[in-house]
């Protein structure tokens, strides 16, 4: 069973350059946490601080309620898996997996039990005598995972472990990771820039941008109730459409066009007193109509993409581009269409702070 991790006002800088700012995190024992964010947002640095591979400039790291800032990496109960598996090239699969256990003087029978279980779980039994150079990328990656799980540590730290695999193998590997967690209940901290991986693996996601936590919540809440414009546009494929709009007495204005808001929204916005807002609507919550209605806007089709199951149609309205996901594509470039907004799926953000302004009672 995994143990708790807590970060209290943790910051990291290299010289004058701040890389992480005032990070506060409380990770429960046995939780699967994904650190998600664009490249350079500070994910790896955060993970490496938990691992003890990176010094903490300010603040406290608590592992199992003990201050751990000064505990060396070797003395933290962690196993780590990296993107470049880092296997010993001259050792067989089984020697790679058991090397650390032998060094730690784990008994021979215990090593054999753990090895056989890991080989079986990860489908490596037939390859146990092979050298890394005679393995496929997927098998190498599974060997690295096996080497980490036999350690039976409290914390399992993974830094983009699946990035070098193709899409099919990644799907298999995600299932394996899930199974590993179901079996050992370690506290997982997993770094990725891939939101699908984050959505599928995480109990909770830490979304990072420029060294700040944007949101720390369940995948469902991150998608349904994004804390700010960055979260709204980063999550989703394509991300949420956002546009600055005017608001007055139940009407939202997009340049010379208006839509009427349902009563629950107009009551909520009237209370806030806001006159300018950022509206957000996901591409999957928009549709295209031939005829207008009170929730639709007139616009021009400017770009189209086939995304496999669906079509992403880009429509220009008041010099803003909106992406709509549709099942069928019957529209021509340059055609004028009506963009229908599903009013129960709208989001609003503060223009100055870009923070979500919340939802009427019916959406709570
Ligand atoms: P991510 O994992 O999200 O891609 P990183 O944690 O690797 O981001 O890096 C965060 C930021 O810290 C980046 O801007 C990176 O250039 C900077 N950085 C990382 N390591 C060092 C270092 N040793 N010296 C200076 N800057 C660094």
Task: Give which of 25, 153, 11, 142 is closest to 87, Cα–Cα.
Answer: 142
Whole-number pLDDT of residue 353:
97
Cα 251 to ligand 1 centre (Å):
45
Residue nearest to atom 22 of ligand 1 (CA): 14
pLDDT one-digit tens code per residue, 195-249: 999 999 999 999 999 999 999 999 999 999 999 999 999 999 999 999 999 999 9
Q: Is residue 310 part of a domain?
A: yes
Q: 88 in ligand 1 pocket by Cβ < 6 Å?
A: no
For residues 244 and 306, membership in a common domain is answered with: yes
For residues 203 and 315, membership in a common domain is answered with: no
CATH number assigned to the domain comprising residue 225? 3.40.50.300
Question: Which among 190, 214, 230 is the end of a domain?
Answer: 230
For residues 220 and 237, membership in a common domain is answered with: no
For residues 173 and 256, membership in a common domain is answered with: no
- How many domains in the chain? 2
The label of the residue with tokens 């429509």 reads 315
Q: Is residue 364 part of a domain?
A: no
Q: Is residue 350 part of a domain?
A: yes
Greater confidence (172 vs 347) lies with 347
Residue nearest to atom 18 of ligand 1 (CA): 19
For residues 135 and 271, membership in a common domain is answered with: no
Q: 356 in ligand 1 pocket by Cβ < 6 Å?
A: no
Q: Is 99 left (phi over 0), alpha (psi -120 to 50) or beta?
A: alpha
The b/e string for 280-301 (b: 16+ C-beta within 10 A; e otherwise) is bbbbbbbebeeeeeebbbebeb
For residues 74 and 135, membership in a common domain is answered with: yes
Residue range(s) defining the domain that contains residue 153? 5-230
pLDDT one-digit tens code per residue, 274-285: 999 999 999 999
Chain centre to alpha carbon of residue 177: 16
Residue nearest to atom 27 of ligand 1 (CA): 14
Question: Which among 204, 230, 256 is the end of a domain?
Answer: 230
For residues 74 and 157, membership in a common domain is answered with: yes
CATH number assigned to the domain comprising residue 348? 2.40.50.140
pLDDT one-digit tens code per residue, 58-97: 999 999 999 999 999 999 999 999 888 789 999 999 999 9
Whole-number pLDDT of residue 316:
95
Q: 266 in ligand 1 pocket by Cβ < 6 Å?
A: no
Question: Which among 230, 246, 271 is the end of a domain?
Answer: 230
Task: Give which of 270, 272, 286 is closest to 320, Cα–Cα.
Answer: 286
For residues 276 and 195, membership in a common domain is answered with: no
For residues 348 and 224, membership in a common domain is answered with: no
| Residue 341 phi, psi (nearest 5) | -100, 130
Q: Is residue 218 part of a domain?
A: yes
Banded pLDDT at 167 (limits 50, 70, 90): confident
Q: Is the Cβ–Cβ distance between 297 and 259 less than 8 Å?
A: yes
pLDDT one-digit tens code per residue, 10-44: 999 999 999 999 999 999 999 999 999 999 999 99
Across 175-199, average pLDDT:
93
Q: 55 in ligand 1 pocket by Cβ < 6 Å?
A: no
Cα 2 to ligand 1 centre (Å):
28
Q: 211 in ligand 1 pocket by Cβ < 6 Å?
A: no
């Amino acid at each position: 069973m995994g143990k708790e991790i807590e970060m209290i006002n943790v910051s990291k800088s290299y010289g004058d350059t701040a890389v992480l700012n005032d990070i506060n995190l409380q990770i429960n024992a046995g939780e699967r946490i994904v650190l998600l964010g664009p490249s350079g947002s500070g994910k790896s640095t955060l993970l490496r601080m938990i691992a003890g591979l990176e010094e903490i400039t300010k603040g406290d790291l608590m592992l199992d309620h003990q201050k751990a800032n000064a505990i060396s990496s070797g003395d933290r109960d962690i196993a780590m898996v990296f993107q470049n598996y880092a296997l010993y090239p001259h050792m067989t699969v089984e020697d790679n997996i058991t090397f650390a256990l032998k060094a730690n003087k784990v008994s021979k029978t215990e090593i054999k039990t753990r090895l056989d279980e890991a080989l079986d779980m990860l489908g490596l039994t037939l390859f146990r005598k092979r050298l890394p150079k005679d393995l496929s990328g997927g098998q190498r990656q599974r060997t690295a995972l096996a080497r980490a799980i036999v350690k039976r540590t409290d914390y399992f730290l993974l830094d983009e472990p699946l990035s070098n695999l193709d899409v099919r193998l990644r799907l298999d590997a995600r299932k394996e990771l899930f199974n590993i967690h179901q079996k050992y209940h370690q506290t997982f901290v997993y770094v990725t820039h891939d939101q699908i991986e984050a959505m599928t693996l995480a109990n909770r996601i830490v979304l990072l941008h420029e060294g700040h936590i944007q949101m720390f919540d369940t995948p469902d809440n991150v998608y349904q109730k994004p804390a700010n414009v960055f979260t709204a546009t980063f999550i989703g494929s394509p991300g949420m459409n956002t546009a600055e709009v005017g608001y007055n007495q139940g009407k939202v204005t997009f340049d010379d066009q208006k839509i009427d808001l349902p009563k629950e929204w107009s009551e909520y916005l009237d209370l806030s007193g806001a006159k300018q807002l950022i509206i957000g609507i996901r591409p999957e919550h928009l549709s295209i109509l031939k005829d207008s209605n009170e929730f639709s806007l007139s616009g021009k089709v400017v770009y189209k993409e086939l995304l496999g199951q669906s079509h992403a149609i880009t429509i220009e309205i008041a010099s803003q581009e909106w992406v709509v996901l549709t099942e069928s594509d019957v529209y021509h470039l340059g055609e004028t269409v009506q963009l229908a907004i599903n009013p129960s799926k709208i989001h609003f953000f503060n223009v100055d702070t870009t923070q979500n302004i919340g939802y009427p009672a019916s959406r709570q």
